[in-house]
């Protein structure tokens, strides 16, 4: 291609002047063309391989999709990915030789070919999510644009995040511990914080299997969140997560107790399966109810939105189906005037991938952020990126081609899951 372009320019210039000694006239232009990227046309891009690696005890999947032009894309899957190495290889085989720019078609090819293999939810969709995300990253790099541009452009340049304080209840924290953790997050610049209220080892539980909270448990939950509100004042958003570990009666009681605290939301008071029970809780309180991290694909949110089961949805964009599916979920929610506040327990690759979707939809509310980004050096070692991760409670949307965050294989290797091939 290089030689053809040089010859074409030289011949054109000679023909235009009719004088051989003028052939040096076009050398500057020829030089500029020589220095320009010479990737072949997007139509000739082909997927050559799909490889994976796992860290965090196998709970974090990283995928790389390779092509015949040396361009690759990175994606991440979370939670529902343990033990899925062979599933990654199997799904990767289905798209080898295909053009990676046909993202929606490849997504449908994989999903529809797995109708009898679990393609409705769970591990199958979580792995598909990582691959689909890598395809968006690859497409952005191939076309030299950030992913949000491929998604139709952006509504915002910065993505607001809330701090998940990871003040886990198994440590039996007191209300004053909640206040200290909340103050730390606010002093770091965050304007929203989240705490966990479920406590499996609470000495006041009726028994290990009973999902009904005792009066003493209810008082503990209220006291912990009241201490948080008192510490940060009225202008900081606070929310609480119950991880789906209670029954509907408890969900209604907790939501009612927290009403005076002006919560941003109460998250997953009951398990994900019973949408009608969610509606009972939502209808019983003025505390906003949020759910969705354990729902998959846009289909999983349809009934939830149709019947008004929750006030806010929080799909996990590293397991719900990918970035294209996440945008479909957000747009579906927007028809019902429901805010979109994604769950996020991934690395900075997953966080920035989520940001591209959050920027591309009008009804984005807030994105989850984890304290481990500040406490655990691993999360800076396993990726490469420009600038600070977060500033004053906002992530600045990357303008680099693709997602804008890359996998650092050398940094990730020392955290790799033992006994599982590492990008092989």
Q: Are residues 186 and 235 in the same domain?
A: yes
How many independent structural domains does the chain possess? 2
Q: Among 112, 145, 178, which residue terminates a domain?
A: 145
pLDDT at 245 over 90: yes
Q: H helices within 313-347, ranges in order?
A: 323-335
7 domain residue, yes or no: no
Note the pLDDT tens digit of each residue in 26-35: 455 445 445 4
Q: Are residues 212 and 281 in the same domain?
A: yes
Note the pLDDT tens digit of each residue in 387-415: 999 999 999 999 999 999 999 999 999 99
Q: Are residues 167 and 135 in the same domain?
A: no
* Enclosing domain of residue 99: 44-145
Percent of all residues in the chain with a pLDDT value above 90, rounded to a whole number = 86
pLDDT at 6 over 50: no
Q: Are residues 114 and 227 in the same domain?
A: no
Give 192's pLDDT tier (boundaries 50, 70, 90). very high
φ, ψ of residue 29 to 5 degrees: the values are -70, -40
Instruction: Supply 25's token pair.
Output: 């006239």
11 domain residue, yes or no: no
> pLDDT value at position 40?
53
R_g (Cα) of the chain, nearest Å: 25
The CA distance from 196 to 45, in Å, is: 46
Q: Are residues 373 and 266 in the same domain?
A: yes
Give 172's pLDDT tier (boundaries 50, 70, 90). confident
Number of H helices, E strands in the chain: 16, 13
Q: Are residues 308 and 328 in the same domain?
A: yes
Give the CATH number for residue 103. Answer: 3.30.390.10
> pLDDT value at position 8?
37
Give the CATH number for residue 295. Answer: 3.20.20.120
| Averaged pLDDT for residues 54-68 | 97
- What is the average pLDDT score of the chain? 91
258 domain residue, yes or no: yes
pLDDT at 311 over 60: yes
pLDDT at 312 over 90: yes
The CA distance from 339 to 262, in Å, is: 17
Q: Are residues 140 and 168 in the same domain?
A: no
Give 304's pLDDT tier (boundaries 50, 70, 90). very high
> pLDDT value at position 16?
42
pLDDT at 23 over 90: no
Q: Among 145, 171, 187, which residue terminates a domain?
A: 145
Buried b (16+ CB within 10 A) or exposed e, 401-420: bbbbbbbeeeebeeebbeee
223 domain residue, yes or no: yes
407 domain residue, yes or no: no
316 domain residue, yes or no: yes
Q: Are residues 73 and 190 in the same domain?
A: no
Note the pLDDT tens digit of each residue in 104-149: 999 999 999 999 989 899 999 999 999 999 999 999 999 999 999 9
Q: Are residues 155 and 248 in the same domain?
A: yes
Q: Are residues 141 and 164 in the same domain?
A: no
139 domain residue, yes or no: yes
| Averaged pLDDT for residues 54-75 | 97
Instruction: Supply 211's token pair.
Output: 């999902």
> pLDDT value at position 19?
38
| Averaged pLDDT for residues 136-165 | 98
Instruction: Supply 163's token pair.
Output: 């701090």
Q: Are residues 224 and 293 in the same domain?
A: yes
pLDDT at 3 over 50: no
Beta bridge partners of 61: 54, 77
Give 200's pLDDT tier (boundaries 50, 70, 90). confident
Q: Are residues 178 and 114 in the same domain?
A: no
19 domain residue, yes or no: no
Give 280's pLDDT tier (boundaries 50, 70, 90). very high
Give 170's pLDDT tier (boundaries 50, 70, 90). low
> pLDDT value at position 24?
41
> pLDDT value at position 263?
98
pLDDT at 13 over 50: no
């Amino acid at each position: 291609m290089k030689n053809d372009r040089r010859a074409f320019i030289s011949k054109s210039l000679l023909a235009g002047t009719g004088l051989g000694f003028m052939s040096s006239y076009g050398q500057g232009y020829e030089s500029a063309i020589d220095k320009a990227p010479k990737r072949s046309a997007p139509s000739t891009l082909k997927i050559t391989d799909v490889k994976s690696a796992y860290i965090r005890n196998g709970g974090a999947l990283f995928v790389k999709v390779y092509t015949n032009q040396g361009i690759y894309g990175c994606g991440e899957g979370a939670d529902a990915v343990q033990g899925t190495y062979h599933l990654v290889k199997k799904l990767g085989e289905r798209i080898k030789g295909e053009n990676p720019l046909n993202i929606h078609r490849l997504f449908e090819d994989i999903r529809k070919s797995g109708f009898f293999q679990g393609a409705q939810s769970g591990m199958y969709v979580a792995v598909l999510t990582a691959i689909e995300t890598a395809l968006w990253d690859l497409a952005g790099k191939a076309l030299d644009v950030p992913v949000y541009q491929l998604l139709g452009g952006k509504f915002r340049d910065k993505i607001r995040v809330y701090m998940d304080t990871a003040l886990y209840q198994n440590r039996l924290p007191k209300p004053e511990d909640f206040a200290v953790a909340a103050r730390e997050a606010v002093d770091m610049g965050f304007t929203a914080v989240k705490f966990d209220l479920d406590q499996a080892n609470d000495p006041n539980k009726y028994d290990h299997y009973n999902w009904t909270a005792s009066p003493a448990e209810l008082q503990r939950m209220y006291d912990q969140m009241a201490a948080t509100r008192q510490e940060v004042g009225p202008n900081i958003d606070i929310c609480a997560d119950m991880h789906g570990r209670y029954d509907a009666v408890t969900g209604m009681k907790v939501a009612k107790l927290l009403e005076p605290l002006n919560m941003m939301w109460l998250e997953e008071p009951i398990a994900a399966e019973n949408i009608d029970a969610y509606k009972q809780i939502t209808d019983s309180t003025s505390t906003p109810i949020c759910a969705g991290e354990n729902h998959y694909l846009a289909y999983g949110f349809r009934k939830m939105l149709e019947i008004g089961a929750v006030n806010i949805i929080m799909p996990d964009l590293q397991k719900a189906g990918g970035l294209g599916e996440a945008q479909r979920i957000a747009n579906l929610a927007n028809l019902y005037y429901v805010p979109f506040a994604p769950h996020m327990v991934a690395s900075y690759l997953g966080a920035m991938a989520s940001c591209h979707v959050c920027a591309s939809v009008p009804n984005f509310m807030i994105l989850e952020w984890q304290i481990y980004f500040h406490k655990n050096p691993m999360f800076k070692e396993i990726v490469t990126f420009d600038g600070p991760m977060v500033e004053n409670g906002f992530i600045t949307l990357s303008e680099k081609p693709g997602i804008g965050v890359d996998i650092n294989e050398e940094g990730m290797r020392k955290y790799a899951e033992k006994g599982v091939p590492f990008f092989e």
